[in-house]
């Protein structure tokens, strides 16, 4: 297994190589001849121009003033904390949300647990995003290059770190015009900032509908997120029980319209859980009619796509009942992976759903990769978080972050509490299954590693770690 205590600049990475017009602008006609003495018509601008003034403010927005753009260099020397201030556009809830929440370099959790987006604005955002999701197929068709994010579980600080270190989905200083973003579900639950996570992702989806792709996870269901923290957070941070339940219900209605999987360049299947027992062809996913409910039509296929896991190692083949998660959830072996890929003319499966110590891990001889983006899962395991960068030629490069001490891990994860009706039944997470170091870590922290077969669990893949090389 790959070491997981290295500094970020020495992080191990792996690559999995897969087989692998500009339109001229119309000319602008000259103005028609003008009557004598008439004022000339103003021509439409054909080239961008830079304003000759800028608004500057101090670090805490306590002082703001307008200066000539020619004075910016001397202003920067005079106030080393000065920055150019941007005012949010009042047009579009997505723009306001992005302006408030997308702060990769300096986001800090609010000390009083307030949430800056009101209930009415959340509902407006959901209403504006739902038609976009409804217009998308259940199986998305995406193209590289793109970044693939695994489970976030309300770890907003980790999401901001990933954006800060590996690129931000923004046109201003970001890379949204060069690379697409795919998120593999489990946006909410367990973490303390699920609202920031899901509301920002929805705003990004509204702002960049073709570049941002959201796939459903098993926690995007009321049966699960009422128990594992999201309902609790909505009630706590959205004005009490009435407002919180309204927000929680509306978001879960929206989750039912999320796509179930994505195909990248027609050769990589991306899904939250796995292929389970029922999935034989991609057409089965295309044929699923949304909205999709866990207990509705296609229940067995939904269970496989959102809940199934690979077996414990490449040595365990076949399809078996999942002893950790409980019946009727199954785990599938490397032989099942190879057969599915061959039958569907695919090259690889990328999935999330399981905590892995190095943030990513291979299975089935590298034909399946698990990616998990939240660090130090539930403040227990000290695992790294990762995203996968898929280049245009389909080389896959993991990008890793490691747990840090200054983001308040104790407050970053919710805990089961007997006095809270929404947290009393929260299931404990299952430790990753990477190697014996998990047991040692658990013993050092005094954490039990036994599992509850009837519970909702987040397992770790046992596939071998890729050979290490420097990040690309």
- As a whole number of Å, the end-to-end CA separation of the chain is 20
Dig out the tokens for 75 from the structure: 């202003």
Residue ranges of alpha helices (H) inside 308-428 are 334-343, 409-412
Catalytic residue (one of 219, 232, 272, 353): 219
Question: DSSP string spanning 212-259?
Answer: EEE---TTSSHHHHTTSSHHHHHHHHTTSHHHHHHHHHHHHHHHTTS-
Interatomic CA distance for residues 160 and 271, integer angstroms: 23
272 catalytic per annotation: no
Return the SS3 of 302.
helix
Q: What is the side-by-side order of every strand in the sheet holding 53-57? A: 64-68, 53-57, 83-84
Within 10 A of 149 (CB to CB), how many other CB atoms are there?
26
Contact 158, 192 (CB under 8 A): no
Residue 433 CB neighbours (<10 A):
20
Q: Any idea what DSSP says for residue 60?
A: T
Buried b (16+ CB within 10 A) or exposed e, 434-444: beebbeebeee
Burial grade of 190 (CB within 10 A; 0-12, 13-18, 19 or more): buried
What are the residue numbers of the active site? 219
């Amino acid at each position: 297994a790959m070491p997981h205590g290295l500094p970020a600049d020495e992080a191990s990475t792996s690559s999995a190589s897969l087989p692998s017009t500009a339109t001229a602008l119309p000319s602008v006609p000259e103005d028609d001849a003008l009557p004598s003495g008439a004022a000339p018509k103003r021509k439409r601008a054909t080239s961008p121009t830079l304003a000759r003034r800028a608004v500057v403010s101090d670090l805490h927005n306590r002082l703001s003033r307008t200066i000539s753009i020619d004075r910016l260099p001397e202003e920067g020397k005079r106030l080393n904390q000065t920055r150019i201030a941007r005012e949010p556009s009042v047009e579009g809830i997505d723009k306001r949300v992005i302006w408030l929440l997308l702060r990769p370099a300096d986001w800090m959790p609010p000390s009083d647990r307030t949430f800056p987006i009101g209930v009415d604005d959340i509902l407006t955002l959901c209403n504006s995003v739902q038609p976009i999701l409804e217009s998308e197929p259940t199986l998305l068709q995406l193209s590289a290059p793109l970044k693939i994010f695994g489970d976030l579980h309300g770890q907003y600080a980790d999401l901001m770190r990933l954006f800060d270190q590996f690129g931000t989905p923004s046109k201003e200083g970001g890379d949204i015009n060069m690379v697409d973003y795919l998120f593999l579900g489990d946006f909410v639950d367990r973490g303390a900032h699920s609202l920031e996570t899901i509301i920002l992702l929805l705003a990004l989806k509204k702002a960049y509908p073709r570049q941002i792709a959201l796939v459903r996870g098993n926690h995007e269901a009321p049966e699960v997120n009422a128990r594992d923290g999201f309902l609790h957070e909505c009630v706590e941070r959205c004005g009490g029980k009435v407002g919180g339940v309204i927000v929680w219900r509306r978001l879960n209605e929206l989750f039912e319209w999320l796509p179930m999987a994505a195909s990248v360049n027609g050769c990589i299947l991306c899904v939250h859980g796995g292929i389970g027992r029922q999935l034989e062809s991609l057409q089965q996913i295309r044929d699923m009619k949304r909205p999709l409910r866990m207990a509705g039509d296609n229940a067995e296929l939904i269970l496989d796509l959102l809940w199934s896991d690979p077996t414990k190692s490449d040595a365990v083949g076949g399809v078996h009942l999942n002893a950790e998660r409980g019946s009727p959830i199954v785990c599938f072996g490397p032989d099942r992976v190879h057969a599915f890929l061959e039958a569907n003319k695919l090259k690889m499966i990328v999935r999330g759903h399981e905590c892995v110590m190095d943030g990513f891990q291979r299975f089935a001889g590298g034909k399946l990769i698990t990616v998990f983006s939240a660090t130090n899962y539930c403040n227990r395991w000290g695992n790294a978080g990762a995203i996968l960068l898929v280049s245009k030629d389909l080389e896959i490069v993991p990008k890793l972050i490691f747990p840090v001490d200054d983001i308040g891990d104790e407050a970053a994860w919710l805990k089961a509490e007997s006095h809270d009706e929404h947290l009393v039944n929260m299931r404990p997470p299952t430790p990753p299954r990477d190697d014996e170091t998990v047991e040692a870590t658990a013993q050092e922290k005094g954490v039990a590693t036994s599992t509850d077969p009837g519970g909702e669990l987040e397992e770790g893949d046992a596939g071998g770690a890729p050979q290490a090389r420097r990040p690309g």
